[in-house]
Amino acid sequence: MFGFNRKNEFQVEGRVSARWAPFLSTHLSSPANYPLQTVVITGGSDGMGRAVAGQLAGKGAHVVVVARTASKLEATVEELRSKALNTLKQRFLYICADLTDANECDRVISEVTAWNDGSAPDVVWCCAGFCHPGFFTDVPISIQRQQMDTVYWTAANMAHATLRNWLAPVPPSGQMRNPRRHLIFTCSTLAFVPIAGYGPYSPAKAAIRSLSDTLSQEIEMYNGAYTQRHRNTAPAADVKIHTVFPMGILSPGFDNEQKIKPELTKMLEESDKPQTPEEVSQIAIQALERGEYLITTMFVGNVMKGTALGPSPRNNIVGDTFMSWLSNLVFLQVIPDLRSKAFNWGKTNGLPQTTSEE
């Protein structure tokens, strides 16, 4: 069962340190003693978000899915009911909202809190977003701005609304009995490695990665204050930030992007073997349960992360350091290879005939 485990909050069989305490202590929690967790999933009506919602329902969570289209959300909630671990106890809700609007994110948090007997959600997982590929000069600037709104701002708005709620100072009497909350972003390995034809999209994902790194540092201040909660006002709970970096996902969004994707881009990403939403979700949840911070879903993704690890917190100092050495050697070959493939494409095919998007 999926729930809190107070005793093991900072220690799971001695393997996980306080800094990377687990996301969901499934195997250790005692369902009788701990309440179910309430999870909000943006973009929860399709693709990866929907798979995440289904799997967390199967682990016993209360799930709220948020997206713009009511019909898809209704169908998702039906599916969640059928996947619930405990149909009598678990509750499901959908909220229609366009998360490019920051006020809508505030509304989502307050509606979830009211529905959840006055408690804020325990987990917020930002999955909303889709990709509009194309060469930079071919795609109208208005669409590129929309991509920033849809990809970056849906996540940043949701993080803002969530953290303002979670980090509000409360007196010791208001502290939570189950002190851990998780904010999860969904990024893309394109935040690590550029691929021609993803100009409208990758910068927004890179911005999410930068926000995630910044927040992972900033949150330490709040978590430090939380350790003094018995004496002072402090946030109601300890908070962890995580970001998932999938490769291709076989989703409705992916089918759409394939229709407009430049041939060169398809060739450059040949080594990506897209995964099903269920696979991506399962791998991500397992990594969250191990307490990981930057999460990739397959080996090539891990190599891409390794070359761009920079100042991000590591999941495992030895493993990540060796991987970054290996990746940096691999990329000595990959970087010129990507560029020469682009050059040769132009040499062979001339300019692309795709300047008709206006």
Of the residues 47, 54, 179, 199, which one makes contact with ligand NDP according to CB under 6 A: 47
Q: Give the nearest distance from C-beta 55 to ligand NDP in angstroms.
A: 14
Interface with ligand VSD in residues 193-222 (CB under 6 A): 193, 195
Distance between CA 135 and CA 349 in Å, rounded?
15
Q: What is the 3-state secondary structure (H, E, C) of 108-141?
A: HHHHHHHHCCCCCCCEEEECCCCCCCECCCCCCH
Partners of 67 in beta bridges: 96
Distance between CA 205 and CA 155 in Å, rounded?
10
Which tokens in the block code for residue 267? 């060739």
Question: Taking CB within 5 to 8 Å according to partner kind, which of ligand VSD, ligand NDP, none is near residue 45?
Answer: ligand NDP
Interface with ligand NDP in residues 123-182 (CB under 6 A): 127-131, 150-151, 154
Contact between 292 and 315 under an 8 Å Cβ cutoff? The reply is yes
Q: How many CA atoms lie within 13 Å of 13's alpha carbon, on the beta-carbon side?
A: 5
Of the residues 52, 53, 99, 167, which one makes contact with ligand NDP according to CB under 6 A: 99
Question: Taking CB within 5 to 8 Å according to partner kind, which of ligand VSD, ligand NDP, none is near residue 269?
Answer: ligand VSD
* Candidate ranges 64-72, 117-125, 162-170, 247-255; the one touching ligand VSD (CB under 6 A): 247-255
Q: How many CA atoms lie within 13 Å of 258's alpha carbon, on the beta-carbon side?
A: 11
- Which are the contacts of 204, defined by CB distance < 8 A and separation ≥ 6? 129, 147, 148, 150, 151, 152
* Candidate ranges 32-40, 244-252, 285-293, 343-351; the one touching ligand NDP (CB under 6 A): 244-252
- Strands, DSSP E only, in 203-329? 239-245, 294-296
Q: Give the nearest distance from C-beta 246 to ligand VSD in angstroms.
A: 7
3-state secondary structure of 336: helix
The binding site for ligand VSD (CB under 6 A) comprises 131, 188-190, 193, 195, 247-248, 254, 257, 269, 271-272, 300, 303-304, 330, 334
The binding site for ligand NDP (CB under 6 A) comprises 42-43, 45-49, 67-69, 72, 98-100, 127-131, 150-151, 154, 186, 188, 246, 248-249, 251-254, 277
